[in-house]
Amino acid sequence: MTVLCLVELDEGRVADASLRALRLARDLAGPAASLAVAIAPPADPAALGTEGPVLAELGDQGVATVLLLETDGLAPGAYAPAALARGLASATAELGAVLVLAPANTHGQEILGHLAAIADLPFVANCTTATWEEPGVLTLTRQRWGGSLLEDARLAAPAALLSVATDAVTPAPAVTPTTPTVLVHRYRVEAGELDVVATTEPGESGGVALSNARVVVSGGRGVGGPEGFGELEELARLLGGAVGVSRVVTSLGWRPHREQVGQTGTKVTPELYLACGISGAVQHLAGCQGARHMVAINTDADAPIMARADYAVIGDVSEVLPVLVREVRARKERAGR
């Protein structure tokens, strides 16, 4: 029996979201089944060489087999979801995989969506846990309403696809590391599957990507207006993080929508989420519940964010933040950082 996990690379390493999906995939494979991963050929072929970190990282995850999905007409590093799903379908058939997992991000979900249609398999999105009840029957929990509600369910299917809620599963190494075997898996696309290919354009922000940021400095209505975000940007820069915002801030046109954290925006999993003037609607909390630490700055000690935050400063963002920026800068300078 084999469990297959889709893995993506990010700057020459296994993407953080993929590590999270791998954790659930490995738990489901258990000692009895084999854990395999499928990867699209990276733009830099050396990334999968024995000199690079990727194979070691996958070995730390207990991966037995790495399938490199190759097809004619798709250049290394290119992204074509329908074609990659065809490659995954072909790999699934060859391995006899009973489960295919991927992170619940855009690439993972859309590839599983295509695979579900190609192979006529059930696809359960945003899983937080899954265990075997018996062969062919899974007991699982998945997020609904962006994680504000959990659904416990039973899935009886000879084979299935699961996307893994990356804000609910933390990466962890395997107890027993492996030395993965790399195999090239060649597949043939069908008509139209290379018609949708991504062209990557540089981002507008140029800063740290919100979805991967270690620190997110986030602002809500309590920031007071678009001009108040200068301090948030400066603090994010000092902490090597990204600026996030609540939905009301984008609705008011203070900041672009790409910075929105929440159920309909970006889901973040930083070490620190600093919520400035954010009351904490469930739709917003759904986007930052995966934060390791949360600190709130808010005038209202009874705001819903206080129930979720670990620490809080009661006060006006416009008074606290300039002092915080100054103090962080001074502390960093003193430490020579």
Partner 1 sequence: MELLVCIKRVPMVGGRIAVTADGLAVDTKMLGFTVSPHEECAVEEAIRVTERHGGSVTVLTLGPPEAAEQLRDALALGAHRAVLLETDGREWGPAATAAAIVAAIRDREATAGRFDLLLFGNEAADSADYQVGIRVARALGLPCVTAVKQLEADPAGGPEGAAGRLVARREHRGATEAFAVALPAVVTVKEGINLPRYPSLPGRMRARKAPLDTAAASFTPDPLERRKLRVPTSDRKGAEILGRGPDAVPALVDLLDEMGVLA
Please list, residue by residue across 294-304, b when 16 or more beta carbons sit within 10 angstroms of its beta carbon and e when fewer do. bbbbbeeeebb
Give the DSSP H or E segment for 111: helix 106-119
Interaction of residue 199 with partner 1, rule CB under 8 A: yes
Q: How far is the CB of 118 from partner 1 (least distance, A)?
A: 7
Interaction of residue 313 with partner 1, rule CB under 8 A: yes
Closest CA to 62 of 184, 171, 139, 183: 171
Site for partner 1 in 251-290 (CB under 8 A): 251, 257-258, 260, 263-266, 271-272, 281-282
Q: What are the structure tokens assigned to 76, written together?
A: 């290394």
Interaction of residue 132 with partner 1, rule CB under 8 A: no
Side chain identity at residue 27, one-letter code: D
Interaction of residue 186 with partner 1, rule CB under 8 A: no
| Backbone φ, ψ for residue 111 (5° rounding) | -70, -45
Half-sphere exposure of 272 (CA within 13 A, CB side): 15
Of 131 and 179, which CB lies nearer to partner 1 in the complex structure?
A: 131
- Alpha carbon 272 to its chain centroid, in Å, reads 16
Q: How far is the CB of 55 from partner 1 (least distance, A)?
A: 22
Interaction of residue 296 with partner 1, rule CB under 8 A: yes
Q: How far is the CB of 186 from partner 1 (least distance, A)?
A: 22
Closest CA to 25 of 72, 77, 73, 61: 61
Interaction of residue 316 with partner 1, rule CB under 8 A: yes
Of 186 and 329, which CB lies nearer to partner 1 in the complex structure?
A: 329
Among 123, 187, 229, 254, binds partner 1 (CB under 8 A): 123
Of 139 and 178, which CB lies nearer to partner 1 in the complex structure?
A: 139
Site for partner 1 in 18-57 (CB under 8 A): none
Q: What is the pairing mode between strands 215-219 and 2-6?
A: unpaired
Q: What are the structure tokens assigned to 140, written together?
A: 């699982």
